[in-house]
Structure 1
Amino acid sequence: MSSRSGAPLTHQLEPYDWSNEETAAYEAAIEAVNGAVSAYSALIAAEEGKAEPDQGLIERAHAARSQPPRDREGLRSGDREQIAAARRHYAQVARDVRGGMALHFQLRAAASQGGVAGRERRADAGR
């Protein structure tokens, strides 16, 4: 990418000396953001692969998946608080989405088997 003058944008950046700690923290934040995008992508793919996908869920997941890359672009390598907050937030988002997927699939499986009560009735009937 280049600026209006045609010079690469990287030539306009001020020099910045990163410590190993800052580099690792920044990379961890980037990985957390990417993990959230990946979790949303997995949710979308899993839902789209179903015989009767929930279009509302797919649309919400697509919308939610668009935010992390925008936030990633706004990360400032020298802002330790912002980097730490992004890492915490997006690591939690990824866990929540993946956890929600697991719960969603458990609930869907239970519903297809008549729910928890239905399984219990079938188990009782077999005794």
Structure 2
Amino acid sequence: MSANNDVSITHQLPEYKWSNEETAAYEAAVEAVNGAVGAYSALIAAEEKKSEPDPGRIGKAREAQSRLARDRERLRSADAQQIADARAHYAALARDVLASVA
């Protein structure tokens, strides 16, 4: 809440109008990052099921998930190039990670 406790801080932010295209592209970029996080979850689960799991591989996967969470927070809907790059990069990353699980 604000200093006067009557208005939330989010209501004090400036208004920003998103186009339908910007909204869809941003959501797709977020989903691409989430897909990569999920791919690392699959990797972790597969590693943990092994008779001798590799703690280093699990640790690196968890670190990657944390890094991806920070990357997701840095996405800016108004930056069309960043959004396009993120969609391509994280979709490819998810495919690569999943391929390493098989």
TM-score normalised per structure 1:
0.73
Q: Which runs of 5+ in 1 are unaligned?
A: 103-127
Q: Does residue 71 of structure 1 match 2:98?
A: no
Q: CA deviation at 1:94?
A: 0.4
What letter is aligned with 1:90?
Y
**Whole-Å Cα distance in 1 between the matches of residues 72 and 8 of structure 2?**
21
Indicate the structure whose relative CO is greater, using CA pairs within 8 Å and at least 6 residues apart: 2
Q: For the residues of structure 2 that align with 1:51 and 1:90, how far apart are their CA atoms?
A: 30
Matched, 1:11 2:11: yes
**Residues 1:45 and 2:36 aligned together:** no
Distance 1:89 1:10 in 2: 31
How far off its partner does 1:71 sit? 0.9
Q: Which residue of 2 aligns with 1:82?
A: 82
For 1:84 and 1:101, locate their aligned partners in 2 and report how far apart those are by CA, in whole Å.
26
Identity %: 65
Moved over 4 A (4+): none
Cα offset for 1:95? Answer: 0.7
Paired residues in the alignment total 100
What 5-or-longer segments of structure 2 have no aligned partner? none
